[in-house]
Structure 1
């Protein structure tokens, strides 16, 4: 650029700077002096878009559960904004091996955790600087800014802080303003961690955001976070383990960016660290998911979080202010755009290479199973824009997920195939691979997630390319003939559970089969739903309602003219029990985990669509439990939470016919010493060797007793009503080494002796602990039941094959 042109650009920037209001000028207070509510952030971005329509394009891409807008700003030069769609189209050609893009696409994501609130504040300073002093970076770069991924959580935190803070703010860490309550601002409305939902897409924020991500597929993606108040700033390069599909260029460019950030941090005397703690393995983060789509994905972590408020005294006696935190995130954000604008050609050429160089061990993943489960997986793949094909007939060889070795499966009109020979091939490999290779067992999250296990499908990983086939699906019989004695339908999936839930809500009475039977030449399994005309004689619109619900859920309905079976139990037998309409309560607050409670809340409201009552721990002991027939205790840290009177009340309620569902850590609060039948496994431990260990090895010694999200093959007793709809095996995602002995009776799912993980990491000592242990079990207690769920069938809402166990606990156990 000549001196004359440079002067013109400088004059233009000064002129714009004089016209545009800074965040402080617009909001009426200096950034860092208070927390900005979400609607005020939106106002500022709208103001910039109105003032600079040639350089800022603002879109609303969705809404949260609490109806707050999700906004996205595209920031670039006037010429680039005018040609934004053609730039996008040219860039996307790279995913097909073509195109000649000459722009860098940089995506900056802020505030995915609501109480890590500094990043949204920093976003306003960042966009202002890009439009003023740093506008030269925009000549060859399109910056996409999502100023607040989690508006519901952010406002929950900012409103709480503005309510409880001292005036002026108190830096003493003991003050109330540094201690959020049980439901902090980190999560979204349903208490889900949105930073762990990129791949699973259970939440509306994630689903709407991914549609925009797929439209752009950025070269660089940054996810801004906060960590503990005593930690210095973290930026890339990341820690090991890196997933093996990550390219050398993705590794190297993280270093390039990190060195540039360090230059600015060094000049200011700010502390930082790299290559520690935050690894690149689990695929559902805001750094890894973009990486598996070709981006340079990164997490930036500022010390602070919900405890820091406007200022706090740290462990070393310094005062960390919100202004400090803003400065740090602003610096790395601007530095990211700077480096990207300096490396446009390299980013484009390497992005294209990412999509053309595919050399994976497995070329195709062949799956078969229940149609509802296949459809559930297809729904997820559609959201990711992953291509798949149906399979009609054939036998396929490869790695057998069920046996853990070479094998084959035969498909007969119940199969599908997902190939890596497509633009999303790398993501396919990561999501479907039987077991991720670990370069280091010290990881930040779970180490196993393979979709065939999560969705309960038989699968083969093939080294050959398998093509999809045309499949003619036979039409389901969803019609209801009014003259039939009864209507029968299967029980195998969450779709079936939704169907049943809606029938019960609509007042239709339903029975279940506790034994296999055959009638009129057809065979039916345990759990089959039996809907008789006689049970519903008083419901005038019975057939019309049943017809509408069957059609809604695409349920195959088998009418029968008789209740006299060919084999098994007749429909009037005591073995054909009426399903009691559950009236369900769940404990919240106090000892319960917000994340685990949120999974249950979301399951009922957004998946099963069935009502539940939330009983907060503050007053739950004063509630008459007889108003409910099901009580759920979410996982958490209970210790001796229930006193003697509370335990006695719960036991009496169960004894008189109540159903208690105890999950994870809540089992400790009611175990054998407290009155119920479940007992912890007592392990015979070998005497510890008195050999001094290096201090630096303590963490690796510790993980010998840990399980970091590993998949184990468990045995299933599918004669147990808790396991209706399952086969003889279940792949369970274990998140820890809690171990309970087999029940005297009622072991629905359990690990056998010397169980080993099929996928993921489990320490040697932890494997010994969980040998011969309960996974899911059922205890009869008086006229009631206690359901034990040691593992979590609802984990993060994505372990699809576990959800029917939870539905069984509600509907099938009696």
Structure 2
């Protein structure tokens, strides 16, 4: 294998005490081994070749070898590096981070954490105390590498950075950094994805490593290495914190509160290198100091990149708006944070479009230089970073206290007890102070029952509260104006990701606001809190009833089915003995239908699930269906199949499987899409098609196989773009059509295809030219991701327990016609034009066309049915408010199948 030779001398300026990492390009040769910075390394510190048998950048380092190398560093320099294990992946791989600093700073790590916690809360640390703390506190930088498993170079750059910090004894940057800062290195955020990538890559390598982008080496098989075991894009998991990797990382960062946080990524191999400043728009809850500080980091990077002759770009593509990334979440505890992106070789060598080869070593080198530059900036600006960090906390508290309308956010204890509890715990996990009322509480003239939750935004994490709890976070008006201009010119917008993310909306929870400071009895929510289930009248004679409508009841259902509990669901609400009303979908466990000590089993399941259960001594129903009515159905444990592999969307498949397995607590069988074409599915009751291009993978033959299974009693659930497949005229599983964009102008004259000429026209202005250039038929404009209000039919078993109004995410440009009553029912539809947008930014034409179009469609077919979600209900596993609807689609639907109605 040919490996380029790099010599990177350190240039020192005695006058400015300046040190720059540079590459002597003239000294490169194509056949000599790699050489890193031209400094004296301490031979007591083992290098990568000594430990692993190859030089940095010559091979893609595995997770196990990365662990071996960091363990060797700690063994060699235990007083200057300390390794912490912060979690374990779904596949059992260790997650670690390393703290590197001077012997004194590493010895004082525990005190450093204590002091940073004190500096983080001006409510307990006044300005004089903070000033004294800042006199001696080191700065801190957290470098997080390879959150996407197939973005491979940063892990090897992390190893090189750690080695350089410990072994480069005469490097001025290192001396300054270790004295004035602590460097935290998270070398591999996604071991499962990286391991998948490496296995696939080296399995395809032949006699030589190919640079051709067409080869198997450069084209990963499904699901690729980007995501983790559950196929989550973990750079989008910082808001919902669903994955163990994210949970451990957030807990660690909340403990040490690093002042500068950098998330190192890769992008297309034909690009150069990206670092701060970020693109527009910026989140309005960021401070100017944070923006200024990350620009300091970017300027220093530019200095080193210029010295090395490395191309780079800033202010493009990667914005600072959405708060749920690895480079944006730290912003809201006060850090200065940014993303770095390097052109990826996606293997050991890649031929760019300009004809030059990009080696793995090239990409590692650039991330190494950027890492060291960032460390240098952090150490050089120790005092400023600490001062600005403390000021951020002060300003956050002041902003909350001065808000006379939305200082407090209150989750009333009146519906969805499980959802309120989960959101309160989630905010606590983020580091927010959340309080539960322990007595009646009156706020802004409203009485709240015990068990309500509130968050006071007058706290250090107040800006995070504002950006995640307010209904709308606006993008800058000038940015929106520019996007409208670009859309008019058919240039495509510059919106990078979702524009709506209000957590109460995504959980579909009631939230009140109040501009006054709280008072009354309350308790601080902690991470050790649990949702307590309860069985009233556990010695009941007749039955146990679980009111339907939240995830606690859902978890009760799935555990009960797996423990062979015989239970029913009621299609309609009912009143027992003229006293207690139960909502539609409520679960009925009749004692006579169950053997053994069913009471003890019910109590155990209630405790595990957090559900509230009523024991009853009569089955006398005075309104609604009786226990023996035709409107109550026995629910048997369905066997669920899910499409897996090409052409299924890996993210949609992973998100959906996670929601069902880890949030609902019920197993899913993943079946490769190619197998579904001719598979005998008779022993499955439910088949889920996540988003995907199934015309390519299933086709007409596969659709016919599935159609026969549905008609025999199966339940087919299509999510997002899978509904496009079901609605295809050639497939005919669902009797709806995907709409083209509405054109308000008169239809264009269609040119005669047999003529070389057409009637002439006169254009009065450029707008007329643009309008006449548009396609006669085109899809609605693409939507990056907004939250939309959805109205729900309240008289169908499929929406039992679902609130009259829910919130869904709209992404893309699929809008469907309603299904006609002769074929099925529209059970949930988007709100009117004025109210359809719940949060985010939506083009006016999309508002008009989306209004009253279906979100949930039900179509009976023979003894089975097709249930179509026109948008994905499981996106990023953070749309908790749609979980009951999905539970009904799986469990109630399978109970209703096989029965002629």
Provide the TM-score with structure 1 as the length reference.
0.92
Q: Does 1:456 align with 2:546?
A: no
Distance 1:427 1:703, change over 3 A: farther
Distance 1:174 1:693, change over 3 A: farther
- C-alpha separation in 2, matches of 1:69 and 1:640: 38
- C-alpha separation in 2, matches of 1:572 and 1:357: 62
1:526-575 per-residue CA deviation (whole Å, 9 max, x = no partner) reads 11111112322xx2243322221122223322222232211222211111
- C-alpha separation in 1, matches of 2:379 and 2:540: 73
Q: Does 1:427 align with 2:476?
A: no
Q: Does 1:570 align with 2:626?
A: yes
C-alpha contact (below 8 Å) 1:592/1:634 kept by paired residues: yes
Aligned-partner SS, 2:798: helix
Q: Which residue of 2 aligns with 1:630?
A: 686
Distance 1:474 1:354, change over 3 A: closer
Distance 1:15 1:173, change over 3 A: closer
Aligned-partner SS, 1:566: strand
Aligned-partner SS, 2:449: strand
C-alpha contact (below 8 Å) 1:480/1:543 kept by paired residues: no
Q: Does 1:505 align with 2:562?
A: yes
Q: Which residue of 2 aligns with 1:764?
A: 844
1:602-621 per-residue CA deviation (whole Å, 9 max, x = no partner) reads 12221112122111123222
Q: Does 1:742 align with 2:818?
A: yes
The 5 A counterparts of 1:208-357 are 208-304=248-344, 308-357=346-395
Q: CA deviation at 1:409?
A: 6.3
Distance 1:482 1:86, change over 3 A: closer
C-alpha contact (below 8 Å) 1:226/1:301 kept by paired residues: yes
Distance 1:444 1:483, change over 3 A: closer
Q: Which residue of 2 aligns with 1:602?
A: 658
Aligned-partner SS, 1:627: coil
- C-alpha separation in 2, matches of 1:484 and 1:692: 80
Q: Does 1:686 align with 2:744?
A: yes
Q: Which residue of 1 aligns with 2:593?
A: 535
Q: Does 1:805 align with 2:885?
A: yes
Aligned-partner SS, 1:586: strand
Q: Which residue of 2 aligns with 1:174?
A: 214
Between stretches 478-487 and 577-586, larger displacement belongs to 478-487
- C-alpha separation in 1, matches of 2:88 and 2:831: 47
Q: Does 1:519 align with 2:576?
A: yes
Q: CA deviation at 1:486?
A: 1.4
Between stretches 359-368 and 342-351, larger displacement belongs to 359-368
Q: Does 1:437 align with 2:474?
A: yes
C-alpha contact (below 8 Å) 1:589/1:616 kept by paired residues: yes
Distance 1:113 1:530, change over 3 A: same
Q: Does 1:496 align with 2:553?
A: yes
C-alpha contact (below 8 Å) 1:704/1:763 kept by paired residues: no
Between stretches 597-606 and 326-335, larger displacement belongs to 597-606
Q: Which of residues 402, 409, 412 is equivalent to 1:365?
A: 409
Distance 1:646 1:166, change over 3 A: same
Q: CA deviation at 1:795?
A: 1.1
1:695-746 per-residue CA deviation (whole Å, 9 max, x = no partner) reads 999xxx9998132221221111122222211221112221223111222242
- C-alpha separation in 1, matches of 2:602 and 2:257: 45
Aligned-partner SS, 1:254: helix
**Where do 5+ consecutive residues of structure 1 fail to align?**
7-12, 398-407
Q: Which residue of 2 aligns with 1:583?
A: 639
Aligned-partner SS, 2:557: helix
- C-alpha separation in 1, matches of 2:409 and 2:540: 46
Aligned-partner SS, 1:445: coil
Between stretches 472-481 and 176-185, larger displacement belongs to 472-481
Q: CA deviation at 1:415?
A: 2.5
Q: Which of residues 703, 716, 735 is equivalent to 2:792?
A: 716
Q: Does 1:126 align with 2:167?
A: no
1:193-235 per-residue CA deviation (whole Å, 9 max, x = no partner) reads 1111112100011111111111011100000000111111000
- C-alpha separation in 1, matches of 2:507 and 2:831: 22
Distance 1:664 1:123, change over 3 A: same
- C-alpha separation in 2, matches of 1:483 and 1:756: 46
Q: Which residue of 2 aligns with 1:147?
A: 187
Q: Which of residues 18, 21, 29 is equivalent to 2:54?
A: 29
C-alpha contact (below 8 Å) 1:192/1:796 kept by paired residues: yes
Q: Does 1:774 align with 2:854?
A: yes
Between stretches 778-787 and 15-24, larger displacement belongs to 15-24
C-alpha contact (below 8 Å) 2:742/2:849 kept by paired residues: no
Q: Which residue of 2 aligns with 1:379?
A: 425
Aligned-partner SS, 2:163: helix
- C-alpha separation in 1, matches of 2:701 and 2:277: 54
C-alpha contact (below 8 Å) 1:737/1:770 kept by paired residues: no
Q: Which residue of 2 aligns with 1:547?
A: 603
Distance 1:654 1:476, change over 3 A: closer
Distance 1:128 1:416, change over 3 A: same
- C-alpha separation in 2, matches of 1:168 and 1:20: 33
- C-alpha separation in 1, matches of 2:548 and 2:603: 18
- C-alpha separation in 1, matches of 2:51 and 2:615: 68
- C-alpha separation in 1, matches of 2:599 and 2:418: 24
Distance 1:170 1:683, change over 3 A: closer
Q: Which residue of 1 aligns with 2:22?
A: none
Distance 1:554 1:253, change over 3 A: closer
Q: CA deviation at 1:184?
A: 0.7
Q: CA deviation at 1:396?
A: 5.1
Q: CA deviation at 1:178?
A: 0.5
Aligned-partner SS, 1:709: strand
- C-alpha separation in 1, matches of 2:89 and 2:262: 22
The 5 A counterparts of 1:687-706 are 687=745, 692=766, 705-706=781-782
- C-alpha separation in 1, matches of 2:78 and 2:395: 39
Q: CA deviation at 1:375?
A: 0.9
Q: Which residue of 1 aligns with 2:716?
A: 660
The 5 A counterparts of 1:65-104 are 65-97=90-122, 98=125, 99=130, 100-101=133-134, 102-104=137-139
Cα root mean square deviation, aligned: 2.7
Q: Which residue of 2 aligns with 1:400?
A: none
Distance 1:52 1:512, change over 3 A: same
Q: CA deviation at 1:260?
A: 1.1
Q: CA deviation at 1:390?
A: 2.5
Q: CA deviation at 1:247?
A: 1.1
Between stretches 210-219 and 733-742, larger displacement belongs to 733-742
Q: Which residue of 2 aligns with 1:413?
A: 450
Q: CA deviation at 1:501?
A: 0.5
Distance 1:316 1:682, change over 3 A: closer
Q: Which residue of 2 aligns with 1:105?
A: 140
Aligned-partner SS, 1:108: strand
C-alpha contact (below 8 Å) 2:46/2:76 kept by paired residues: no
C-alpha contact (below 8 Å) 2:276/2:295 kept by paired residues: yes
Q: Which of residues 175, 190, 198 is equivalent to 1:158?
A: 198
**Where do 5+ consecutive residues of structure 2 fail to align?**
1-11, 18-37, 481-493, 525-529, 749-762, 897-901
1:754-806 per-residue CA deviation (whole Å, 9 max, x = no partner) reads 25412101122322331221111211111111111112221101111111111
Aligned-partner SS, 1:496: helix
Aligned-partner SS, 2:829: strand
